[in-house]
Structure formats: C-alpha cells, structure tokens
Amino acid sequence: MSRSERVYRVLLKVYPGEFRREYGPQMEQVFGDLYREAYERGGRRGIALLWALTIWQGRRWRRGSGLAQTMRR
Amino acid sequence: MEKGHVGRVREVRDLLPLTPAVLHILLALADKERHGYGIMREVEGRTGGQTRLGPGTLYGSIKRMLADGLIEESDERPDPAMDDQRRRYYRITDFGMRVAGAEAERLSGLLETARARKLLRGRGPSLPEGV
C-alpha cells in the first residue's frame, strides 16, 4: 500500500462512522485504483492532481453537496 | 411503485428530479453491472472528462439509491480481472430504469422549452455540443 493510500485511509475518518464502516473499504479500493491510474498517466504530477481533486471533492462533500444532497429525500 | 430497503412505498415521481450524480450512476448501470470504479470510469468517459465523481459522492449516492430501490447489489463477478473481496458490483433495478426514463423525459421537456425560447444554438432535433 502506498503512502497516499495510507493517508487516504486516515482521512476517511471525516465521514460519519456508520457510512465509513459500510463503504470505507470500497472507497479505499477506489482510491487505490485512482492512485495507480494517476501514477501511470502522470507520475508525481498525476498523484498531485489526484490529491488536489480528492481534497476539493472532500470539501464540497463536507459542505453538503455530497451525502447531504444525495440523502435529502 | 417500489418498496425501498427502508420499507417505504415510493412512486417514480417521488424521486424526481434526480441529482446529477444519481442520474449519471443510473446511466452508467443501464447497460451492464459495474463496480464503483467502473461507474466512475464510465461517467468520466461518457462526459469527456467533464464529470468526475469522487468516492464520497459516489458511495453517498449509492447508499441512497440502494435504500430507494433504484439499484441493487449483484452477487455476480462480471469483471474477474479486477476482482477483489472489497469490490461490490451494482445493477439497476426495473424501478431504477423507470425512474431514469422519467427523469430523461423531464429533462427532454426542459430542453424543448429552452429550444422553443431560442436559448440553444442548435435549431434542429440534434443537441448542441456539451448538452
């Protein structure tokens, strides 16, 4: 497991516990896929872009455009 | 009508309008079962890279869609090359197909209105780029 994947595992703690227990392993799996793809496409630059996108999407999610939006009903 | 996992009976119209993420996921699953990463790749490819679902948005949507009966988990492993114990596959339900169709018709109606009011560059039946 790469350092990025280990860091991502820690960052998953921002998600609610129940959601993290149910989907955390899958999210780790997907991030690992994205990591390998980003590295193959762009090396370190690709990894930097992946992290920028991940942080941006995580902040949007926290502000309510993620789970809160999809769970609004 | 459909009974979601939470036990409520839901009508198609109860779920409209769909969020963009939910509609993209339904479209991705309309032709075959996919796992989460497969859904992300399909959405990104179909939109020319303009739409990228993050893992949080993807699985937040999937959780809600399972509860609403739009999709269900599949026991089959259609992509053994990428198999992993953690990887779960999802497929669209008949109810999900009906909801996706109703949303597409709703959007089509909006598009017709926009076209009638000359808000679109395209004048014929085909859609302009990016729509």
Q: With pLDDT > 90 as the criterion, what percentage of chain B qualifies?
A: 66
Distance CA A29, CA A16 (A): 18
Q: Do A57 and B54 touch (CB under 8 A)?
A: yes
- Residue range(s) defining the domain that contains residue A22: 3-70
Q: Is the pLDDT of residue B23 over 70?
A: yes
Mention every residue, 6+ apart, whose C-beta is less than 8 A from residue B75.
none
Question: ω before B17 within 30° of 0 (cis)?
Answer: yes
Mention every residue, 6+ apart, whose C-beta is less than 8 A from residue A67.
A15, A16, A19, A61, B56, B60, B63
Using CB atoms, pick whichever of A22, A25, A73 lies closest to residue B15. A73
Domain with residue B20: its CATH number is 1.10.10.10
Q: With pLDDT > 70 as the criterion, what percentage of chain A qualifies?
A: 86
Q: Is the pLDDT of residue A70 over 50?
A: no
DSSP 8-class letter at A14: G
Can you give the pLDDT at residue B129?
A: 45
Q: Report how many Cβ contacts below 8 Å link chain A to chain B.
A: 75
Distance CA B84, CA B11 (A): 36
Q: Do A70 and B37 touch (CB under 8 A)?
A: no
User: Is position B93 within any domain?
Assistant: yes
By three-state DSSP, how is residue A72 classified? coil
Q: Which residue has the higher pLDDT, A64 or B113?
A: B113
Using CB atoms, pick whichever of B21, B37, B52 lies closest to residue A70. B21
User: Whole-prediction pTM value?
Assistant: 0.82
By three-state DSSP, how is residue B89 classified? strand
B47-67, pLDDT tens digit by residue? 999 998 989 899 999 999 999
Question: Chain A contact for B21, CB < 8 A?
Answer: yes
| B window 63-122, beta carbon within 8 A of A | 63-64, 68, 84, 86-88
Overall number of domains in chain A: 1
Q: Where in chain B does DSSP place strands (E)?
A: 2-3, 9-10, 34-35, 71-74, 89-92
For B122, phi then psi, to 5°, come to -70, 135
Instruction: Enumerate the H helices of chain A as residue ranges.
Output: 3-11, 17-60, 67-70
Can you give the pLDDT at residue A68?
A: 46
Q: In this predicted structure, which of A41-45, A53-57, B124-128 has the lowest mean pLDDT? A: B124-128
List the single best residue of B86, B99, B103 to mutate versus A (max A Cβ within 10 A).
Answer: B86
Q: Based on C-alpha coordinates, what's the Rg of chain B? A: 16
Q: Is the pLDDT of residue A72 over 50?
A: no
Can you give the pLDDT at residue B75?
A: 83
- Residue range(s) defining the domain that contains residue B95: 2-116
Structure token digits, residue B86: 């953690």
Q: Do B60 and A31 touch (CB under 8 A)?
A: no
Can you give the pLDDT at residue B9?
A: 64
Can you give the pLDDT at residue A57?
A: 81
CB B78 within 8 A of CB B33: yes
Using CB atoms, pick whichever of A28, A31, A66 lies closest to residue B57. A66
Mean pLDDT of A38-45: 92
B79-98, pLDDT tens digit by residue? 666 567 668 999 999 999 99
Q: What is the mean pLDDT of chain B?
A: 86
Mention every residue, 6+ apart, whose C-beta is less than 8 A from residue A12.
A20, A24, A27, A28
Overall number of domains in chain B: 1
